[in-house]
């Protein structure tokens, strides 16, 4: 009788453990759940007594996202500094300027020593649109306070960020409600 399970491949034993002061994680890909996974880490870090901050690129504050409400309730620092996704923008130059400003805020927070965890939500778009050079982002993350863990989200993470990261997860779409015309729902998407 088969169980339908695929056996796990044989793996080499893991390398010797290495202690690091902080990690960089990236959630990328076309699938749903990149930001949601990052906000799970946000909750986990807060529950461990970490000082946590979130810088949201691209997104505007008009959605009143549930995770922002949770962060406010928990006393987590939160900055939503974009003006909406590009397909919603009426002025792409203004969108670019807001996201460049968001990067300057993020870079200052990365170096400040004030955070054990910073989530840089939708950062990959800002790099991929050419608004902030990837070298500047790599330098900012590399120059962060040694104990600041970083989670970056967004589609199409550039190779330079993937190289820098300790853990990269790619979300893939198998099926999505949007494909059937079902709009975003409070509590599920935001």
Nearest alpha carbon to residue 53 among 103, 111, 118: 118
Neighbours of 136 (CB within 10 A): 14
What's the pLDDT tens digit per position in 35-59? 999 999 999 999 999 999 999 998 7
d(CA 55, CA 114): 14
| Mean pLDDT on 26-39 | 96
d(CA 99, CA 97): 5
Beta strands 24-29 and 117-121 are unpaired
- pLDDT above 70 coverage of the chain, percent: 91
| Mean pLDDT on 3-11 | 63
Half-sphere CA count of 21, side-chain side, radius 13 A: 9
For residue 87, the model assigns a pLDDT of 62
The answer to whether the pTM exceeds 0.75 is yes
Q: What angle, 0 to 180 degrees and rounded to 10, lies between the N-to-C axes of helices 66-74 and 34-47?
A: 10
The residues facing 120 across adjacent strands are 55, 152
Full 3-state SS string of 82-149: CCCCHHHCCCHHHHHHHHHHHHHHHHHHHHHCCCCEEEEECHHHHHHCCCCCHHHHHHHHHCCCCCCE
């Amino acid at each position: 009788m088969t169980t339908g399970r695929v056996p796990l491949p044989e793996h080499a034993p893991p390398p010797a453990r290495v202690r690091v002061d902080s990690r960089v994680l990236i959630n990328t890909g076309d699938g749903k759940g990149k930001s949601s996974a990052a906000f799970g880490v946000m909750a986990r870090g807060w529950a461990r007594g970490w000082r946590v901050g979130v810088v949201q690129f691209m997104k505007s504050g008009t959605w009143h996202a549930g995770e922002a409400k949770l962060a406010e309730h928990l006393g987590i620092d939160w900055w939503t500094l974009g003006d909406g996704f590009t397909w919603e923008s009426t002025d792409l130059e203004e969108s670019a300027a807001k996201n460049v400003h968001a990067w300057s805020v993020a870079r200052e927070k990365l170096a400040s020593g004030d955070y054990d965890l910073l989530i840089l939500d939708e950062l990959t778009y800002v790099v991929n649109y050419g608004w902030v050079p990837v070298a500047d982002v790599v330098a900012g993350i590399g120059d962060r306070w040694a104990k600041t863990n970083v989670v970056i989200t967004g589609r199409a993470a550039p190779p330079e960020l993937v190289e820098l990261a300790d853990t990269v997860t790619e979300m893939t779409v198998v099926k999505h409600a949007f494909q059937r015309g079902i709009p975003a729902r409070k509590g599920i998407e935001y």
